[in-house]
Chains A and B, each alone.
Chain A
Amino acid sequence: MTNDDDFAAYQFLAQETEDHRWAFGTGFSDPLEGIDTSVPAGVDAAALAAYCLALGDDALIYSHRLQQWVTRMPELEEETALANIALDLLGQARLLLSRAGQAEGAGRDEDRLAFFRTEGEFRNVRLVEAADADFAELAGRLLVFSAWRLALFGELTGSADPVLAAIAGKGVKELTYHRDYAAQWVIRLGDGTELSHARMQAALAVIWPLFDELFRADAVAARLPGAAADPAGLRAEVDGVLDAVLGAATLDRPEGAPMAPVAGQTGRQGVHTEALGYVLAELQSVARAYPDATW
């Protein structure tokens, strides 16, 4: 196996080509290159763009929050796990933002959407914005997020938009793995020592006010019959999963009031918590300072 060819890919990358990588973005070829990206008849293209944007934003912002844990985890194995989960979500974000850009038809690609939108233009749910205070909060948030997103993607595998269905089909496999990982930690901590149980229960209390928002009626989804999933329809599956995990973990489901919408609006309408601004500052500031840099 040892010959020069093994490293041809890397030699090629060192050569001057037209394929410059943009310093702050992916610079990769379009991740949907070669796929039939026409929007099917009967699917509202503008609504599809907005829908994919929101699902892409969920993954992009949460991936960034998970990446911030790298170098701060208690063990190398868990750090590797989180880096892998963050990478999967970043991959989903790339595909979804690319799809959003195509359906929109205004020439915005994934990088433009990720790096050059302001806070109010992001459409992610508020659950993914805050930095986790401790490992228990990380495990709890990851469990809620992946249980919800798995239920959502499970529905979207039957989407009338074949590109969205294909993205969901890949994501389902990844999210199943993420959810299992999170569930095992929640159970281990909840059913662990007195201290780990107390901290896991306290972490759930922090996360739960953001839970109801995941199932709020969504005007964008309503414009996409057959292509989008009804948020409220996901609740039974997510509740079932969480009840099973919390039961095994000897944890109680928190009963706090949900975080209130602002003038009826939440993350899907561009109304966010303060935490999102800090994520975007880190994610975007260098790209905005040097918008044309390549390496």
Chain B
Amino acid sequence: MVTQGADDGAAAGPEMVTREASDGTAADLEIVTREAGDRVAGGLEAAREIAGAVPDPELPMVTLADLGILRRVTAEDGRVVVTITPTYSGCPALLEMAHDLRYRLARAGYADVIVRTELAPAWSSDQITPEGRAKLHAAGLAPPNPAQPDPGQRGSGRGPVPLPLTMALPKVVACPRCGSLDTERTAAFGPTACTALFRCGTCREPFEYVKDI
């Protein structure tokens, strides 16, 4: 995310300058445009930091940037545009995220914020950053294993369809407390759409596992 953010910043800056130059025909209009543009252009990096630091409503130990839910923060006509992606189609936390993003950015002086949803490419647990995985682990949640190859890809080829029917038990998940590999899944679904329930056979503690999708 950090690398991607830096790239976005480099791309957004010149874009703003170009727009000002092309718009600046009348003198007074030019000033207004530049002020509005500068305010976002100058503060886009800060806006990105604020947006990235918003905690996930369901898993508050990690941020939207940690989870890979925050896709990008850009500027459009002097407004901050925050693009997020849902983890699951029915994720009820999306509205809370949008409110929290607007609230925190408004408090920092960004009055006019657009929050957009992006569906494709679909979110994958592989997009959780190393830092996010470390935070999940520290909070007692087992971070996800690498996701299986995207089964959606098979739709594009019209050949014989493989059966990705995973009736075998899920991959080994280490206990986030004691590190034991002697764990078992007690339920395929947990308290939120993105987790499953496990129990450790060594320390006997139950824990949540962030599902790999």
Contacts and interface: CB of A to CB of B under 8 A. Distances in A.
Are A and B a genuine interacting pair, yes or no?
A: yes
B98 interface: yes
Contact of B211 (A6, A34, A154, A177): A177
A244 B96 contact: no
Given A32-B117, A77-B187, A180 B166 contact: yes
A211 B118 CA distance: 34
A89 interface: yes
A95 B89 contact: yes
Contacts of A10: 96
Interface string A33-60: 1110000000000000000000000000
Interface in A1-40: 1, 5-6, 8-13, 19, 28-29, 31-35
Interface residues of B, number: 55
A176 interface: yes
A35 B146 CA distance: 28
Interface stretch (B34-42, B176-184, B188-196): B188-196
Contacts, number: 165
Contacts of B83: 34
Interface stretch (A106-114, A157-165, A214-222, A250-258): A157-165
A77 B184 CA distance: 14
A157 B88 contact: no
Interface stretch (B7-15, B22-30, B150-158): B150-158
A169 interface: yes
A84 B152 CA distance: 21
Given A87-B90, A154-B155, A237-B161, A28 B118 contact: no
Given A80-B189, A180-B167, A91 B91 contact: yes
Interface string A144-157: 00000001011111
Given A81-B188, A180-B165, A12 B153 contact: no
B189 A84 contact: yes
A140 interface: no
A200 interface: no
Contacts of A117: none
Interface stretch (A121-129, A181-189, A277-285): A181-189
Q: Is the interface of A mostly helix, strand, loop or mixed?
A: helix
A91 B155 contact: no
Contacts of B94: 28, 31
Contacts of A176: 151, 164, 166
Interface of B: 55, 57, 60-61, 83, 86, 88-92, 94-100, 102-104, 114-124, 150-156, 161, 163-167, 186-191, 193, 197, 211, 213
15 contacts: A9-B99, A9-B100, A28-B95, A34-B118, A80-B187, A95-B89, A95-B119, A153-B155, A154-B152, A170-B88, A172-B152, A174-B88, A237-B163, A244-B165, A245-B167
